[in-house]
Amino acid sequence: MSDPRKTWRGMFPAVTTQFHADFSLDLPATGRVIEALIRDGVSGLVMCGTVGENCSLTRDEKGELIALAASVAKGRVPVIVGVAEYTPVFAAETAKLAQAKGADGLMVMPPMVYPAKPRETLAHFRTVAAASDLPIMIYNNPPSYRTDVTPAMLATLADVDTIVAFKESSGDTRRLVDVRNMTGDRFIPFCGLDDVVLECVALGAVGWVSGMSNVFPREGETLFRLVRDGRLAEAMPIYDWFMPLLHLDARPDLVQCIKLCEHIMGRGTDLTRPPRLALDASERAEVEAMMKTALANRPSLPDVGLPPA
Sign for the pseudo-dihedral over CA of 128, 129, 132, 134: positive
**Could you give the CA distance from residue 59 to residue 103 in angstroms, rounded to a whole number?**
15
Domain layout of the chain by residue ranges: 4-230
pLDDT digits (tens, 9 = 90+) for 249-258: 999 999 999 9
- Examine the residue annotation and report whether 101 is marked as an active-site residue of this protein: no
Given a cut of 90, whether residue 309 has pLDDT beyond it is no
pLDDT digits (tens, 9 = 90+) for 66-111: 999 999 999 999 999 999 999 999 999 999 999 999 999 999 999 9
Given a cut of 70, whether residue 1 has pLDDT beyond it is no
Q: What is the pLDDT of residue 257?
A: 98
Average pLDDT over residues 170-197: 98
Q: What is the pLDDT of residue 96?
A: 98
Rounded to the nearest angstrom, the gap between the alpha carbon of residue 251 and the centroid of all alpha carbons in its chain is 15
pLDDT digits (tens, 9 = 90+) for 50-70: 999 999 999 999 999 999 999
- Examine the residue annotation and report whether 239 is marked as an active-site residue of this protein: no
Contacts of 240 (CB under 8 A, 6+ apart): none
Give the confidence band of 2 by pLDDT, cuts at 50, 70, 90.
confident
Q: What is the pLDDT of residue 176?
A: 98
Q: What is the identity of the amino acid at 48?
A: C
Average pLDDT over residues 154-162: 98
Given a cut of 80, whether residue 120 has pLDDT beyond it is yes
In the set 6, 86, 114, 167, the catalytic residue is 167
Annotation: binding site for pyruvate: 209
Q: What is the pLDDT of residue 145?
A: 87
Contacts of 219 (CB under 8 A, 6+ apart): 213, 238, 242, 298, 299, 301
Percent of the chain with pLDDT over 70: 100
Average pLDDT over residues 175-196: 98
Rounded to the nearest angstrom, the gap between the alpha carbon of residue 152 and the centroid of all alpha carbons in its chain is 23
pLDDT digits (tens, 9 = 90+) for 233-246: 999 999 999 999 99
Instruction: Please state the pTM of the whole predicted model.
Output: 0.97
What is the Cβ-side half-sphere exposure of residue 277, based on CA atoms within 13 angstroms? 3
For 17, 48, 100, 127, 138, the CA distances from 66, given in Å and listed in that order, are: 11, 8, 9, 21, 19
Annotation: binding site: 209
In the set 62, 101, 139, 239, the catalytic residue is 139
Q: What is the pLDDT of residue 26?
A: 98
**Could you give the CA distance from residue 183 to residue 26 in angstroms, rounded to a whole number?**
42
Q: Please confirm whether the linkage preceding 115 is cis (ω < 30° from 0).
A: no
Are 84 and 54 contacting, i.e. CB atoms less than 8 angstroms apart? yes
Percent of the chain with pLDDT over 90: 97
For 252, 262, 263, the CA distances from 136, given in Å and listed in that order, are: 25, 28, 31
**Could you give the CA distance from residue 39 to residue 277 in angstroms, rounded to a whole number?**
30
- The mean predicted confidence, pLDDT, of the chain is 97
**Could you give the CA distance from residue 76 to residue 39 in angstroms, rounded to a whole number?**
10
Was domain 4-230 assigned CATH 3.20.20.70? yes
